[in-house]
Amino acid sequence: MFPTLFSPFEIKGHTFRNRIFSTGHQTLIVTGGLPNDGLVAYHEARAKGGAGLIITEAMTVHETAFFNEAMIAAYRDEALPGMKKITEAVHRHGTKVFGQLFHPGAEVLGTDSYGTRTIAWAPSPLNHERYFATTRQLTPELIEEIIKGYAITAERMIEAGYDGVEIVASHGYLPAQFLSPLVNQRTDCWGGSRENRQRFLLDVARLLRQRLPASAIVGLRISLDEKDHLGVKPDEALAALAALEAESLVDYMNIAYGSSATSGSSPHIAPPMMIEAGYMREAGAIVKQSVRTPILLAGRFNQPQLAETALVAGEADMIGMTRAQIADPEMANKAREGRIDDIRACIACNQACIGHVALGTPISCIQHPETGRELAYGTRGRTEQPRRVLVAGGGPAGMKAAAVAAERGHHVTLCEASGQLGGQALLAQQLPKRAEFGGIVTNLAREMELAGVEVHLSTPVTVELARSEGADMVIVATGALAHLPEIEGAEDGHVVTAWQVLTREVNCGGSVVVADWRGDWVGVGIAQMLALEGRHVRLMTSSHAAGINLQPYVRDMIVGDLMRMGVAITPYARLAGVDNDTAYFEQTTTGEAILAEETETVVLALGHRSQDSLLAALTASGINAEAIGDALSPRSAEEAVLEGLKVGAAI
């Protein structure tokens, strides 16, 4: 179905079995800054799944290259055994593997093992906007030492069996900091003229050429446009690419957008669903017209159809489908075999992939929690004692539990009280620019179908039904309902829930206050939806910032949209009461009153309460039952699907 995507491609004598690659991305599956067996299993799953190339996560080239505690310190000898295990595992499945050479420069995110901030080194003194670091200017001697560090680390990678190495000059990291005339304010041979600003990157590439075997591939990752007020612009990036090509210093160019330096530019590192799928095609076309070197391209390619289209159009030679393979490690195999409906398409929610990295926890996926947990859940054997399992509830938790249990050989029946599968995901997809979230329903429903789950809609589970079904176990995934607390004066005002707004049960009028407790998608999403409808909207959140529980790239984009639309955001505001035209709030740290006058409607985004009455009834009747997801405790789709996996695998 995708002849170009699955045609072989050659770079410097290395043949890739197809044009699909996984970009370097931090996983946090490490132990003490060194690769571990979990990381080996993570990459092997994607190699086994059919990827043509895997670029493993950025590894530091020097002791000054500190980004966070979980970075793999590839400049250390101790990293060699773990790297060898990775390359051996990937090569077993016919996939090529490259290693990333990384120095963040000013981009220092975390702290050391004592919780203290390390020095952020950069070409020039700089106040880093996003990570709040004041940088220390690199000395000429340290610059030369770091350049040697790139070569030493690259040699170690080749010794470990990597087919090639990739210099990370993208997203505002150290080589890019040298390229930018607004970041690099040096007046010596490392700054000033364009030639001087390119010197660091070119010297790194030159030394790699000198020190590495002729067969080793040397590549580059660079942002064509960092989309940052101080960052690299297209003219600087294209000039650097031309200089590299003139000396034949790199064998491919991996093109990105964005920078880690600001809230406006960083979402391009892992573009959320608000950014159009395949939007990087334009960048690929621009670079393709400027250079002859092979081009790798990544950025929201979540389906093989998109990748094929870009390749046929001549916008790239290989396509990065990183989150696509986080969501579905078997994506490449499924596409090659024409099993398009079986692909678990990434919905770009960013919650458990880049979202976990922001939390300092290992990478995963809300749709496929097996990701990052390959050692525990990557292989599921068939049960020797099939049981009759009844699942109550067809939301994400119930669907995942049913699919996993049935895959293992149990006879599984899922009953959903409403006429449609999906639970709260059906509401989530109604929010602006969140339609893709509905993909989780489509994907989980397909998993159930393939596993042979028997599904009954408009069928609430009762004790009597569980008995008539002869269920050995009932999984209670009945979800939650919107929390509607007692609010002083509610009888005099117009108080509605976010759910009622989404289902169009109520008319909110022209002036709306959204009372947000949880700081997730609901509050900001409802505010955005109502503002787009032309209403005057105020968002009052009890936290210190709007969308505090969203992944930063997602939060920063939607809060920017709210500000652009004139939504007034008030932090530290706890709802206290209402009357016919005013909503009353308390400042959460001082208790002082905050009045939202001329309010027609107050929309509550105050979380949920579990629907767990069925669990109590089943337990009282002596029926084996276990609650998962929101029926156990209201949280998010991520916890729901993970608990579905755990209970389905444990039966």
Q: Please, which residues have CB within 8 angstroms of residue 398's CB and are 6 or more apart in sequence? A: 391, 392, 414, 416, 423, 475, 477, 628, 629, 644
Instruction: Tell me how far CA of residue 417 lies from CA of 206, 394, 395, 458, 459, in angstroms.
Output: 65, 8, 11, 5, 5
Please identify which of the residues 42, 75, 150, 173 carries the catalytic annotation: 173
Instruction: Tell me how far CA of residue 167 lies from CA of 104, 153, 247, in angstroms.
Output: 12, 11, 16
Active-site annotation holds for 162? no
Q: Which of 201, 183, 212, 205 is nearest to 122 (CA)?
A: 183
The first and second tokens of residue 507, run together, are 């008319």
Asked whether the beta carbons of 172 and 237 are under 8 A apart, the reply is: no
Asked whether the beta carbons of 163 and 174 are under 8 A apart, the reply is: no
Q: Is 390 exposed, middle or buried (0-12, 13-18, 19+ CB in 10 A)?
A: buried
Instruction: Name 318's bridge partners.
Output: 296
**One-letter amino acid of 205:** A
3-class state of residue 213 by DSSP = coil
**One-letter amino acid of 61:** V
Alpha helix ranges (H) inside 408-547? 425-428, 439-451, 463-468, 498-502, 521-532
The first and second tokens of residue 419, run together, are 């006429």
Helix H or strand E encompassing 396: helix 396-407
Q: Which of 102, 114, 94, 99 is nearest to 39 (CA)?
A: 99
Give the rounded distance of the alpha carbon of 378 from its chain centre.
20
Residues with active-site annotation: 173
